[in-house]
Chain A
Amino acid sequence: MRAAETVKLLFRGPTAIVAAAVLVVLIVTAFLGEQLAPYDATATDVSNRLQSPSADHWFGTDELGRDVLSRVILGAEVSLRVGAVAVGISLVAGVLIGLLAGYYGRWVDDVLMRISDVLFAFPAMLMAIAVLAILGPGSTNAMIAIGIVYTPIFARITRASVLSVREEVYVKAARSAGAGDLRIIGRHVLPNVTAPIIVQTSISLAFAILSEAALSFVGLGTQPPDPSWGRMLAEGRGFVEQAWWMAVFPGLAIFVTVLAFNVLGDALRDVLDPRQRQAMAGTGVTA
């Protein structure tokens, strides 16, 4: 299965296209934040505080008179960056751990997987909060904390696939030709375990964004006055009765982003599963 073929199959149905389009818009928004935002997201304007949505302020203003639309736009960058870096950390660390544990087995496996079981045993939020308690609050530390929390998932998924791939005859064939462990892991094992990892990456991005929002909500993530969807949600909570827009718009932003990543992850899972793929290619069923 090659990349071009995968992409072609992936975008046969409308849902994946919509999800991908939403994500493209989000990424563009994140990059162009400052230029797109109609107002300075941190500029307070007390005379215009708690304005309801209007032509001037589409999403209204918050308790300090800041434009909610501008803050949601700038928050995209924070959310995506934290999500991407956090997932990047867990992806690299988890895949590495999973490869080593799955390939070498025995005590390497025991040690690495028990550590990851311990990490896994804690509720994700509690773990992240504990890590942040050690590192101190802030968005950089939030990325690290979320990265650590999601590492065991990647480690487990990778290990499970490696366990079956390492028994494949083609791995033995490589060994019989004189290939060393490094070559076998890099050239044969890793390329054959990517499908579930890709799927997990897209789903984890959704969770990481949610976690960042949650951490910011409790005050451990992004620090004021920087806008973050989670923080905005937390700040808006106190004003739901007078100014529903303060919480609803950042909440919607989180919802749409997470949904888009999840839908894309699901579609990827279907396409990368060879059996599903065959069925799709054969019957023309769309994802």
Chain B
Amino acid sequence: MSDVLVRASGLRVHFGDVRAVDGVDLEVRRGETLGLVGESGCGKSTLGNALLRLVEPSDGTVEFDGLDVTAAGRRELRALRRRTAMIFQDPYASLDPRRTVAESIGEPLAIHGLHKGRTARRARVGELMEVVGLNPDHGGRYPHEFSGGQRQRVGIARALAGEPEFVVCDEPIASLDVSVQAQVVNLLVRLQREFGLTYLFVSHDLAAVRQVADRVAVMYLGRVVELGAGVSVSSAPAHPYTEALVSAVPVPEPTRERTRQRIVLRGDVPSPADPPSGCRFRTRCPKAFEPCPDHDPVLQPTGPEQAAACHLHGVTDL
């Protein structure tokens, strides 16, 4: 059993001219939470979708536990879908309004023929509801009868139904009330421990990711620009973009918060249809210098368990 559960190599997802994901190499290790951060439109959700082949990659491969996901046929893909799951951002949109929550939670069971028979399935759905902190007696209710946080719990129960190994959490707390965000994060952390899950935790919120992730990947304009242990990425960012992200997070310590220097990036994110030459971040980078327009940096180690794609750590070219 290799310790890498999911591996993306040279992954590209292009929608026409738009290069949402443009050459990503990434490994998700068994049992870890890999945080994936970046601003809107950087391709982080697309990457999450591509790892599960919910969007077709234009180039590159994805391996899941040694199986080539990108080359999987219909049957293999179906089998893979049992072993993977996704938790969505909007708990209102992700549940079919016409189906009871028990039907939604039980859908993966029905699809994969698990816990056959009415009583067995009902028991399993009840068990799942309990695991995520819902009253199992409420299975017959419809999504509109639940609050946002409860709906997200329904979505989580559905994701767990098929006993997956790998779960992509696509901004799972972004559209929840702040008061329930922490509850849902804690639930996700507890479930990971209980069921030995591997998470890809996609979020635009570095502070949230720092809390749950063992390692963090920072994306900018379709590329991973920094990758490393959560602690090192947030305490000693190696890429100027990560520095800017870290500087935007308030510090819960008045003395340090007072001295926090905010790095404000100038300008807008360039169009992913027409990324800048060389380093993609150079147009907004406060530290850009001569090699940046001409050389496309590759991820290179900057410390133990940390890598960044920046010429400040030695000029490289893709």
Contacts and interface: CB of A to CB of B under 8 A. Distances in A.
Interface residues of B, number: 27
Nearest to A191: B98
Q: Which of A170, A173, A177 has the most CB of B within 10 A?
A: A177
B26 to A, nearest CB: 19
A131 B37 CA distance: 62
Contacts of B85: 176-177
B38 interface: no
Interface in B158-208: 158, 161-162
A64 B289 CA distance: 103
Given A169-B88, A169-B93, A174 B54 contact: no
B108 interface: yes
Contacts of B86: 173, 176
A170 B96 contact: yes
B96 A175 contact: no
Interface residue SS majority, chain A: helix
Contacts of B299: none
Interface string A163-189: 000001110111111111001000110
Given A169-B90, A172-B54, A183-B111, A177 B162 contact: yes
Nearest to A176: B86
Contacts of A172: 54, 88, 94
Contacts of B94: 169-170, 172-173
Interface in B92-113: 93-99, 104, 107-108, 111-112
B72 to A, nearest CB: 12
A178 B96 contact: no
A175 B54 CA distance: 8
A178 B95 contact: no
Q: Which of A176, A187, A191 has the most CB of B within 10 A?
A: A176
A192 B98 CA distance: 7
Q: Which of B52, B85, B104, B107 has the most CB of A within 10 A?
A: B107
B82 interface: yes
Given A169-B94, A170-B96, 17 more contacts: A168-B96, A169-B88, A169-B90, A172-B54, A173-B88, A176-B86, A177-B85, A177-B108, A177-B111, A178-B82, A178-B108, A178-B112, A178-B162, A179-B111, A191-B96, A191-B98, A191-B99
Interface of A: 168-170, 172-180, 183, 187-188, 191-192
10 contacts: A169-B90, A172-B94, A173-B86, A176-B54, A176-B86, A177-B107, A177-B162, A178-B108, A191-B98, A192-B98
Sort A-B residue pairs by CB-CB distance and give the 9 closest, nearest first. A178-B81, A169-B93, A170-B96, A177-B108, A176-B86, A169-B94, A191-B98, A178-B111, A178-B78
